[in-house]
Structure 1
Amino acid sequence: MASKRKGLLERLGDNEFVIAAEGYAFYFERAGYHKSGLGVPEVVLDHPEVVEHAYREFVHAGSDVIVSYTYYGHREKLRLAGREGDIEKLNKTALNLARKVADETNTLVAGDLSNTNIYHPDHPERNDNIKAMMKEQTEWAVECGADMIVAETFTYFGEAMLALEVIKSYGKGLPSVITLAPFIVPTMDGHAITADKLLVSEACKKLQEAGADVVGLNCGRGPKTMLPLLKEIKEVCPGPLAALPVPFRTTSKEPTFFMLTDPLTGKKVFPGDVDIHSCTREDINEFGEECKRLGIQYIGLCCGNRAYYTRALAESLARTPPASQYSLDMSKHYVYGTDAKVKRDVADDSLKLYHTLGEIDHI
C-alpha cells in the first residue's frame, strides 16, 4: 500500500524542490556488481543487500526519492541476460527494498521504466510488446506500494508516449515523471531533437499536454550542456520540469558523455574511463543553484552519481541532510586550518614546508 506521507504532486504544488538520486548502473559497476554493455540490474538478484545500502546512502546524502533499481529490468534485457524467468523477482525485490527504506526514512518510492531498445517508428508492430513489458513493470510498482512512476532515458518521443500511456492506464493514478535523453548530435537548426526528429522542447510540451505530471531530461549530457536545453523547454513548457544530468564535464564540442575523449590519447573514454571528466562538487552546487533560479523543481543526477554529489546538490538548495554532518571543513586542518585551537607554530612551519616542496622541480 502506498505511503500517506506528502506526495510528489503536493510537494511540487507547494513550490518545493524534489531531489531524486539515480545513477545505479555506474554506481554498481564501479563497485564491481554490474556489467556495462549488458546493463541488466542483476545485482538486485545476486546481492540485494548492496542495493539496499545504495538506497540508504543516497537518502543519507539528501535524496527525497528512492528510484527503484528496475531500469533495464524489462523482459527484453533479461532475455539477453538469460534471466527472463527472474523478472518478477527482480522487480519486486528492488521495489520492496525501496519501500522498506522509504518507510524508515520518510522518503518516496518511484517505480522505474526505461527505454526498451526495440522501439522504432518504422516498426509499430513492436508497440504491443513494448507496452506489455512496461505494463507488468508498472503493475508490480503499484502492487509494491510505489508513490510515483519514473519513465526515463527515451531517445524516441514515440516510446516516451507509449510509457506515459501505460502509466496512465495501469498506474492507478500514480504521478508520472517522463524524461527524454537527447543524445542526437548534430541537432536541427542548432536545437536538440529526439531520434524521431522532434524538437526536445516540443516533445516535452506534447508529453505534458498528454498528461505527464513532470517532464524533462535525464542522462547523456552533463550540467553545462543540459541546462541550455532546459531553458528552451521552459520557454514552451510551464512545468514542473525535471533535470537529471550526468556528473561529467561535457562541452559544446563533446556535448554527451558518449563523446568525451581522453585529452592525452584522443580515445573515447565511455564508459570505463569517463571519470577523468568528472564534475567537481562545486560544479554540482552551481547546477543546483541554477535549477533553483530557473524554477526546475525535480532535480537529480544520473550515471556517475555518488553520494557526495547528491549531498552537494542538496546543500545547493540550502538543505542539511544527515551527510552534511561530514561535509568538508578545513577550519581545523593542521596546516590550512583557521580555528583558534590549531597550533599555529606547527601549522605555519608545515605550510612553509609545503610551499618549499612545491617549488622544487625534483625531489
Structure 2
Amino acid sequence: MDYRKLGNSGAVVSSLCLGTMTFGAEADEATSFQLMDLYAEAGGNFLDTADVYSAGVSEEIVGRWLKAHPTEAGQMVVATKGRFPMGKGPNDIGISRRHLVRALDASLKRLGVGQIDLYQMHAWDALTPIEETLRFLNDAVSAGKIAYYGFSNFLGWHITKAVHLAKANHWAPPVTLQPQYNLLVREIELEIVPACLDAGIGLLPWSPLGGGWLAGKYQRDVKPTGATRLGENPNRGMEAFGPRNSQERTWQIIDAVAAVAKNREATSAQVALAWVAAQPAVTSVILGARTAEQLKDNLGAGSLTLGSDEIASLSAISAPQISDYPYGTAGTNQRFRKIEGGR
C-alpha cells in the first residue's frame, strides 16, 4: 500500500482508508475488530467514521480498538464527522457552532482520544452561515481538539466559498472532501474535482464500488439475493436495483471492469478501486467492507497499478453523460475555441 499527503496538509495516509459505517450494524464488535486488525496488518493507517454511524456505536467500537492496540493507535489517522441528528432537538443537527461544539466533544469521548485528526462536516447546512462553521473549526484547531478539517458531500461552489473565506480571514483551511465517486458515478468531475484541484484539497471517495455493483455482485435482470446489500433487503433492493439495471451504460462498465480484471488476474472490485485511486486529487479511497473476506479482496487493490491504457479505456466507457450545454461542444468550450481561432 502506498501513502499520500492528506490533501494540502503535512499528514500522510495510506491510499486505502477503512470506512467504519458497518461497525455496530452490519458488523458486530468482534468482526469490526477483525477488520481493523487486518487493515493495520496490511499497512493501512487511516480510519474513517462518523457520529451518526450506528448512533455513535461505530465511534465507540473504534475507540475501544484504539485503546486495546496502543502501538497501532499511535500510527492511525482517525477521521470522524458531524452534522446529522444525534438527538431530537432542533439544535441537535447541522453545522452551527451550537451543535458542533457538543458533537465534537461527544465524538472525542466516544473515540477516547484527546484530538481528532480529521473532523469533517458531513454535509452542507443551508441554515448556518458557512462563516460560523469555519470560525468554529478554526477555534477547534487552535484549541487542539482537531488537527485538520474537511467536508463531505459539498458542491463545487460550497468548497470554493469556504476556501476563500478561510483564506481571507486567516483561518485554518479545509484539507479534504469526501464525495461519492466511482466508475458509475462520475458527475463530481464537472465542478467538484476542479474546485478541489484548484484549492489543493484531497478527495476521499466513498462508495468506490457503487454499492457492490462494480464488484460484479449483480446480474442483468436478476433479482438481487443472498449476502449483498440489495439482496438482504428485497424491497429496498429492487427499488435501488431497477433504475441502474435498466441502463445499458451500467452493464457496459461492469463488463469492461471484468475484462480488465480477467486480463490482470485480479478481481473486479480491485480494478474498480484501483481506477478510483488513480484519479486526479484522490488522496485515499474509503473501503466499506462488512466481512474479512471482502476486506482482504479490497486490500488487494493496494498493490494493483493500472496501466495508462487500462485507465483510459475504463474512463472512456464510463464517461459521465452530460447535456450539450454548458459543458458540451455547443457551450463554453466551443466559444473558447472560436476566440482562440480569432472568431
If the length of structure 2 is used for normalisation, what is the TM-score? 0.54
**1:334-362 Cα deviation digits (max 9, x unpaired):** xxxxxxxxxxxxxxxxxxxxxxxxxxxxx
Q: What secondary structure, in the 3-state scheme, does the structure 2 residue paired with 1:237 have?
A: helix
Match of 1:205 in 2: 160
Structure 2 residue 268 is matched with structure 1 residue 282:
yes
Unpaired runs of 5+ in structure 1?
A: 1-5, 34-46, 79-86, 182-193, 195-199, 255-259, 319-363
Match of 1:52 in 2: 33
Residue 56 of structure 1: CA displacement? Answer: 1.3
Unpaired runs of 5+ in structure 2?
A: 167-171, 246-253, 259-266, 307-343
**1:282-339 Cα deviation digits (max 9, x unpaired):** 3443443443341422332347684135413322359xxxxxxxxxxxxxxxxxxxxx
Indicate conservation of the 8 Å contact 1:110/1:147, yes or no. yes
Whole-Å separation in 1 of the counterparts to 2:111 and 2:146: 8
Rg larger in structure: 1
Indicate conservation of the 8 Å contact 1:291/1:297, yes or no. yes
What is the aligned counterpart of 2:81 among 103, 107, 113? 113
Tell me the percent identity.
7
Indicate conservation of the 8 Å contact 1:300/1:310, yes or no. no
**1:101-151 Cα deviation digits (max 9, x unpaired):** 3623763231412332389xx989974542233231355389624460232
Match of 2:207 in 1: 246
Whole-Å separation in 1 of the counterparts to 2:299 and 2:93: 44
What amino acid does structure 2 have at the position aligned with 1:237?
C
Match of 1:175 in 2: 147
Match of 1:214 in 2: 175
**1:22-48 Cα deviation digits (max 9, x unpaired):** 0432x65444x3xxxxxxxxxxxxx4x
Indicate conservation of the 8 Å contact 2:17/2:46, yes or no. yes
Question: Residues 28 and 215 of structure 1: is their aligned pair in 2 closer, same or farther, counting only changes over 3 Å?
Answer: same
Trace 1:74-223 onto structure 2 (pairs within 5 A). 77=55, 94-98=62-66, 100-101=68-69, 103-104=71-72, 107-117=75-85, 127=96, 129-137=98-106, 139-140=108-109, 144-146=113-115, 148-151=117-120, 153-154=122-123, 156=125, 161=130, 165-171=135-141, 172=144, 174-181=146-153, 200-209=155-164, 210=166, 211-218=172-179, 221=180, 223=182
Residue 71 of structure 1: CA displacement? Answer: 3.0
Match of 1:236 in 2: 195
How much is the aligned-residue C-alpha RMSD, in angstroms?
Answer: 5.0
Match of 2:330 in 1: none
Q: How many positions carry a matched residue from both structures?
A: 256
Indicate conservation of the 8 Å contact 2:181/2:208, yes or no. yes
Residue 250 of structure 1: CA displacement? Answer: 6.7
What amino acid does structure 2 have at the position aligned with 1:21?
L
Whole-Å separation in 1 of the counterparts to 2:73 and 2:91: 44
Question: Residues 12 and 270 of structure 1: is their aligned pair in 2 closer, same or farther, counting only changes over 3 Å?
Answer: farther
Indicate conservation of the 8 Å contact 2:52/2:86, yes or no. no
Match of 1:84 in 2: none
Q: What secondary structure, in the 3-state scheme, does the structure 2 residue paired with 1:59 have?
A: helix
Indicate conservation of the 8 Å contact 1:152/1:180, yes or no. yes
